[in-house]
């Protein structure tokens, strides 16, 4: 159990169950120590693309990791359409379904620039709301045309997209923001199909909210974490067995060297499917485990906030909750 002795608490994946390391007594016997926590905690950024972040959180227990996952999903705020005033809707989509579709269109507005609306019945202000409008009408392009198959040649506005939603500044908002900075993140989200005679005349009001109240306010498409896999080969595996072993794991985990022998190249991206246990002659050649205090986080932002900003905002939310809890304790 060398890995556990080197400071990596492991949970072993057997064929039908999990097994604790013999030298690891689990979370129950670990007393909280703040100084030790500070020394062990590490955040390592592994991959950062435009709206996707992969990072490692090392030295924490699952409860801490899950706190950040839940906060990023449901308590980091964003702006979303909350009120839909429909003055005219002659399309085939019912008003309530249309309002729901519009509410789920992600907006680029930075929620940190806005305040929460104090009262739902209060009129919108420049500090707490954004106003948009959608005014479109489908018409026939040429009444004399014989075209019957190509909608683009037959109709104007036969497909309504999120890019046709226009921003209407409230108060002095036009001096602070631009339409590109507060409008829909994607212009190609299909709202409705229309035919001549169909028309929208709609006003939309966006406010600041959190995913705990409604999923449309969540700033992320997904946040997930998993424990770091730890894979060790306990005996040489060569030839056809090496190639069979390679197929038992995710691509890039097991590779074969020049001597036709299998080796572990990168255990990080293994799905821990345990396919190797389907082959009895290979089952004893591999020891699979997960490091129970090393979590691989994946954060996929919708675009209003960068994924690293979303994580930092979740830290602020947690700090605020801790302060409130301490104040409650001191108050009693």
pLDDT tens-digit series, residues 164-196 = 999 999 999 999 999 999 999 999 999 999 999
Is 265 a domain residue? no
> DSSP string spanning 79-147?
EEEEEEEEEEE-SSS-HHHHHHHHHTS-B---GGGSPPPS-TTSPP-TTTEEEEEEEEE-EES-TT---
Give me the helix-helix angle, 62-74 and 307-331, nearest 10°: 110
Kindly report, residue by residue over 70-82, the tens digit of the pLDDT.
999 999 999 999 9
Residue 93 maps to a domain? yes
Q: Quick check: 27 pLDDT over 70?
A: no
CATH number at residue 140: 2.170.120.12
Name every residue whose Cβ is closer than 8 Å to that of residue 243 and which is 6 or more positions away in sequence: 256
Full domain range(s) for residue 206: 79-214
Q: Is residue 262 part of a domain?
A: no
More confident residue, 37 or 199: 199
Q: How confident is the model at residue 24 (pLDDT cuts 50, 70, 90)?
A: low
Q: Is residue 54 part of a domain?
A: no
What is the pLDDT, as a whole number, of residue 102? 96
Neighbours of 223 (CB within 10 A): 25
Which tokens sit at 78? 């964003």
Cβ-based burial of 323 (10 A; exposed 0-12, middle 13-18, buried ≥19): exposed
Write down the pLDDT at residue 154: 85
Per the CB < 8 A criterion, the answer to whether 242 and 256 are in contact is yes
Beta-bridge mates of residue 264: 254
Domain count, the chain: 1
Domain annotation covers residue 90:
yes
Cβ atoms of 55 and 46 closer than 8 Å? yes
Q: What is the mean pLDDT of the chain?
A: 91
* CA proximity to 199, closest of 121, 90, 324, 318: 90
User: Domain for residue 241, yes or no?
Assistant: no
Domain assignment of residue 298, yes or no = no
With contact defined as beta carbons under 8 Å apart, do 89 and 202 qualify?
A: yes
The Cα 297–Cα 227 span in angstroms is 9
Answer whether residue 295 shows pLDDT above 90: yes
Average pLDDT over residues 131-143: 91
| Residue 88 in domain | yes
Q: Which residues of 24-59 are buried (b: 16+ CB within 10 A; e: fewer)?
A: beeeeeeeeeeeeeeeeeeeeeeeeeebebbbbbbb
């Amino acid at each position: 159990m060398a890995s556990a002795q080197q400071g990596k608490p492991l949970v072993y994946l057997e064929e039908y169950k999990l097994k604790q390391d013999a030298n690891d007594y689990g979370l129950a016997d670990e007393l909280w120590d703040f100084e030790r926590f500070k020394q062990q905690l590490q955040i390592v950024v592994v991959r950062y693309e435009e709206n996707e972040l992969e990072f490692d959180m090392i030295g924490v227990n699952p409860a801490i990791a899950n706190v950040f996952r839940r906060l990023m999903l449901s308590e980091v705020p964003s702006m979303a359409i909350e009120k839909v005033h429909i003055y005219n809707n002659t399309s085939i989509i019912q008003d309530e379904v249309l309002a729901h579709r519009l509410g789920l269109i992600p907006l680029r507005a930075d929620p940190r620039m806005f305040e929460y609306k104090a009262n739902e019945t209060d009129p919108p202000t420049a500090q707490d709301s954004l106003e948009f409008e959608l005014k479109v009408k489908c018409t026939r392009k040429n009444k004399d045309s014989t075209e019957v198959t190509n909608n683009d040649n037959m109709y104007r506005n036969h497909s309504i997209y999120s890019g046709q939603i226009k921003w209407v500044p409230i108060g002095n908002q036009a001096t602070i923001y631009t339409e590109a900075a507060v409008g829909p993140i994607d212009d190609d989200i299909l709202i409705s199909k229309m035919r001549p005679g169909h028309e929208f005349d709609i006003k939309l009001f966006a406010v600041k909210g959190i995913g705990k109240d409604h999923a449309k306010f969540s700033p992320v498409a997904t946040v997930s974490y998993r424990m770091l896999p730890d894979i060790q080969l306990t005996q040489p595996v060569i030839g056809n067995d090496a190639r069979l072993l390679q197929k038992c794991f995710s691509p890039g985990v097991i590779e074969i060297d020049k001597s036709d022998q299998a080796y572990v190249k990168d255990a990080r991206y293994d799905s821990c499917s345990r396919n190797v246990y389907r082959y009895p002659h290979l089952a004893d050649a591999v020891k699979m485990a997960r490091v129970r205090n090393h979590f691989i986080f994946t954060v996929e932002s919708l675009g209003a906030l960068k994924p690293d900003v979303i994580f930092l905002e979740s830290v602020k939310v947690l700090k605020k909750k801790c302060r409130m809890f301490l104040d409650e304790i001191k108050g009693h």
